[in-house]
Structure 1
Amino acid sequence: MQHLDIIDPHIHLFDLEKGEYTWLKTQFWQDKANISQSFCDSSLIVKSPLSLVGYVHIEAGFNNPKPWLEIANIEQRRTLPVRTIGSLDLTLSSNDFKHSLKEQLQYDSCVGFRHIFNEQTIDILSHRNAKKNLADLNRLKCNFELQITVFSPTTIEKVIKVFAFYSDIKLVLNHAGFAPIQAENLTQASEYSLWQNAMRRLAEGTNAHVKCSGWEMTNANYTQNHLIQPLTFLKSVYGQSRVMFASNFPLCLLTMDYQTYWTTVIQVAQHVGLSPKVVCHDNAFKLYKFNTH
């Protein structure tokens, strides 16, 4: 393997002493102890010929009412170039939304926001406050991390309709739309067909990039072979320029260590004809504005 600089565009660095992380402290699952600890960027260990040269911290519930405190915490602790994705609730009143937006954008690292939609996508995007708030994000040409359940065609059409109107928002589809990777051969799986149709529609109907990570949330025992089919498909519909690989650290540790994760996905990238340099560095460098400040 040749030398490769990596920008990891989806990680969560917890600070359990100072942050709330209600979801982490109240939910229980197997091997949770592996991730229920504080992490800093020195925890992101890769060895030569790999080199981590930057990362994107995605909001993780440090302080939901005051999400700017999480960005401040990350900037105080970082030792590598970092960009942050803050938290914004699209259903907030316009005044509260603008206040939170202003507080978070005062930090140089903040380049976008996330509101986890999942099964509530239609309700959130139909909320009376969402239109004004999305207009603010559109005016600022912000990144918006789209975390949704893609298996409902009605949901996908709603997303396409809304974000076609706010086309200056740069959409990033998280976790490859939760590709169903329970089996190595997915051709006959009905969920896989629904996923393909949804991802194809999102590729055609929006400007979305797709961030490939979170495999452990679908299949904690996945291997390289589980990733080949969905990544081949994503390459065909999004093209190399709209695909990024990420780790979802520390949740990736539920399956393998950080070094092994990157070695695994780089090998898959090469297998399906994706350039590791493009999908593990260049696309994230551009989209998350590592070329500024």
Structure 2
Amino acid sequence: MEIIDPHLHLFDLEQGNYDWLKPENPPAWPDKDQIRKNYSESDLNLPDRMTLAGFVHIEAGFDNEQPWRELKWLAENCTLPYRSVAFADLTSKRFKQQLQHLLKYESLVGIRYILDDQALAFFDNKTCLTNLQLLQQQGLIFEAQFSLEDQNAVTKFTEILEQTPDLKVVINHAGLPSSLSQEWMDSITALAHHPHCYVKCSGWEMPERKWTVESVKPYINFIIRQFGLPRVMLASNFPVSELSCSYTELWQRYSKEMKLKGFEKELLLHDTAQQLYGL
């Protein structure tokens, strides 16, 4: 079976900055030093009878001042089919200038700007709306990473989506749920009404290193019920996922323990990512 991993990171500590990996900077994970090393395509080992048909590389803090350097590094070091989601400062009036540099690279499909606790302030910022409208004009994807339990931010976000009806949005890491809360479920339901909004299910290791398929299935199943299979993807978040299990084991969990039917596997592990990211 062929899979496409729609959310992973590769590191080159000699070439990039990766400030978030430094022990003095957040996140304050006590085991963060375990992933403070180089990662390349050769580390993406899948179970038997599974083939990596391609991947989407998500910005990893390589160089936030000159984010195109990461895309250049990827072009020089990747041999598998891939697409890249780059960093660009959506709060900055320099965003258009950064985007012009990034558009020189064929791999570019979208922009990620981690919102976290600043999500409401971000969505209230008129500069951000202008820059999201620019993304829409360019046909690029906005990768949104923030907690969907923040209902004020989600309400503001849905207002923005109504003003940018053709903007493709991908919610990262299932909206970072801390529990199967009413707030999170209401947000998933609200965002599902926007036809160009997708969800990537990944990042389970960040709140819980010892996650199991049984512990995350309620989230995945609820997302599928609201969004439908064609707008949901299973992803790794490699190498952060290594804090819980190997790349091989992660895809074994998805492909075997989830007990998915054939067409469900094809959509969740390959087809939706292939279509959305143009792989």
TM-score range, shorter chain: over 0.9
Q: Which amino acid aligns with 2:2?
A: D
Partner of 1:204: 193
Q: Does 1:180 align with 2:178?
A: yes
| 1:250 counterpart = 2:239 | yes
Alpha-carbon shift at residue 47 of structure 1 (Å):
3.2
CA contact (8 A) 2:189 2:226 kept: yes
Choose from 281, 284, 293 the match for 2:273. Answer: 284
Aligned to 2:68: 68
Q: In structure 2, what is the equivalent of residue 132 of structure 1?
A: 130
Cα drift, residue 271 of structure 1: 4.8
Question: Partner residue of 1:237?
Answer: 226
What RMSD in Å do the two structures reach over aligned CA positions?
1.6
Q: Distance in 2 between matches of 1:143 and 1:21?
A: 23
Structure 1 runs of 4+ aligned residues shifted over 6 Å read: none
Query: Identity, % of aligned pairs?
Result: 36
Cα-to-partner distance string for 1:182-229 (whole Å, 9 max, x where unaligned) = xxxx5xxxxx22211111111124621100000001211111110221
Flag structure 2 segments of 5+ consecutive residues without an equivalent: none
Contact 2:47–2:251 (CA under 8 A) maintained in structure 1: no
Q: Structure 1: how far apart are the matches of 2:12 and 2:32?
A: 16
Contact 1:22 1:61 (8 Å CA) reproduced: yes
Aligned AA (1:284): A
In the alignment, the residues of structure 2 paired with residue 283 and residue 100 of structure 1 have an alpha-carbon distance, to the nearest angstrom, of 28
* Other structure's SS at 1:150 match: coil
Q: TM-score scaled by structure 1?
A: 0.90
1 CA distance for matches of 2:140 and 2:54? Answer: 20
The aligned residue for residue 165 of structure 1 is 163
Q: What TM-score do you get using the length of structure 2 for normalisation? A: 0.94
List aligned pairs for 1:30-45, cutoff 5 A.
Answer: 30-45=30-45
Q: Hey, what does 2:207 align to over in structure 1?
A: 218
- The residue type paired with residue 6 of structure 1 is I
Q: Does 1:151 align with 2:149?
A: yes
How many residues align? The count is 276
CA separation of 1:241/1:202 partners in 2, compared to 1, >3 Å: closer, same or farther? same
Distance in 1, matches of 2:259 and 2:224, equals 12
Q: Which amino acid aligns with 1:265?
A: Y
Asked whether the equivalents of residues 247 and 261 of structure 1 are also in contact (C-alpha less than 8 Å), the reply is yes
CA distance in 2, matches of 1:109, 1:196: 34
Tell whether 2:254 aligns with 1:265. yes
Segments of 5+ residues of structure 1 without an aligned counterpart are 187-191
